[in-house]
Structure 1
């Protein structure tokens, strides 16, 4: 198989994936398809400029031929390798389920603070999801416990209590978001970046079966995982 055919095969894979992303079933020009897909997919948006350039080259390969009908725009090996790698990234993006699923312990608002701290230490985590009435309620953090402890000391109150006592000290600019197990790592990146632009911090992204806050977490992504998120997307 020559370079032109390899290039066209990779391009066709990308075009098919864009149709799946957008739900388009009828014929649509590639540039329109790309523009529509980039609105809903951070992964496509990331490579939008490269895809536009590859579309121009695709057109040259398909339409520019010699008098004998031979293709005269033959991509070099490097370009073919690049589009094949891009096709792999777009059609088979790394999933959060492959890297961030793990047992996540939870507690409820009436759990003793000492018990919650013990759970965190067992998990090796400074964050613990709090569930109440069948759904997510809050995210308990060591920072919140520290603020509660300081408040109790300053007011000469006993250092005993339940998780709900600490929730009063949460940072109102911090949020917890949810992703389904089918999400790819770029979606997690997009959530962190979008929140940063809005001046809001993400304490954690909880992974549930379908991304619902009413489902128990089966994985968690925190700011500490950002280096791995970007490493996986290279």
Structure 2
């Protein structure tokens, strides 16, 4: 937008409408009313970050628009800082980052027939706590450091455990089944937040979302997103 062409009020209204349209696309709500969408979308990190401001912007927008006495006439002009702020929020909401931007990308994954020693060496080298496991070309779940430690504790004789002949499948069959979802590389942060919320509504704690080319279990993992990745997103910095 050429900001020298439009008044502050016009810029404000355009940005507000862009936010409203983005909320209608991203948030599931029985009402398309702006404030209802903001309230319904509070499980989204970005919306919850801006929630108080969005409610205030709705009040200002109503005052500017509903009190018009003629076309193109506004009763007041919002401050430049306010307009620039709502335009920033509009840019964030209309062009959300891809989920891969917050995902752990150097994914280490294993096949069922590999040695458990390979995983332990992976933990030592990469310090990851969970590793996707594949069998016959499909991801079948996560093997976690916690699960390995539990398996070792149950089989330890004195202070020695012989792992030379132990395969991942031997440990994995006793691993807790962690809810795992998949998403395509075109998925946005909004999309993965919706997946976490979907599982939450089913009273399941989604362990992670694996990003692949097309969101299929038989594709190479490109990244992995956990709930912690979403929590750590910082939308407050300008």
TM-score category by the smaller chain? Answer: 0.7 to 0.9
Going from structure 1 to structure 2, the CA distance change for 1:15 and 1:68 (only over 3 Å counts) comes to closer
Q: Which runs of 5+ in 2 are unaligned?
A: 1-5
Higher helix proportion (structure 1 or 2): 1
What residue number does 2:216 align with?
Answer: 212
Going from structure 1 to structure 2, the CA distance change for 1:223 and 1:19 (only over 3 Å counts) comes to closer
The answer to whether 1:106 aligns with 2:104 is no
Contact 2:38 2:54 in 1 (8 A): no
Contact 1:42 1:186 in 2 (8 A): yes
Contact 1:94 1:233 in 2 (8 A): no
Report deviation, 1:32.
7.6
What residue number does 1:121 align with?
Answer: 124
Q: Which runs of 5+ in 1 are unaligned?
A: 23-28
Deviations 1:1-38 (A, max 9, x none): 4321220221232244356558xxxxxx9628974995
Structure of greater relative contact order (alpha carbons < 8 Å, 6+ residues apart) = 2
With normalisation by structure 2, the TM-score equals 0.72
For 2:206 and 2:236, the matched residues in 1 are separated by: 20
Which one of 30, 33, 47 corresponds to residue 31 of structure 1? 33
* Paired residues, number: 227
For 1:163 and 1:218, the matched residues in 2 are separated by: 22
The answer to whether 1:10 aligns with 2:15 is yes
Going from structure 1 to structure 2, the CA distance change for 1:69 and 1:78 (only over 3 Å counts) comes to closer
The answer to whether 1:185 aligns with 2:189 is yes
For 2:219 and 2:117, the matched residues in 1 are separated by: 25
Higher mean alpha-carbon deviation, 153-162 vs 75-84, is at 153-162
How well do the aligned residues superpose, as a CA RMSD in angstroms?
4.0
For 2:198 and 2:71, the matched residues in 1 are separated by: 53
For 1:178 and 1:118, the matched residues in 2 are separated by: 26
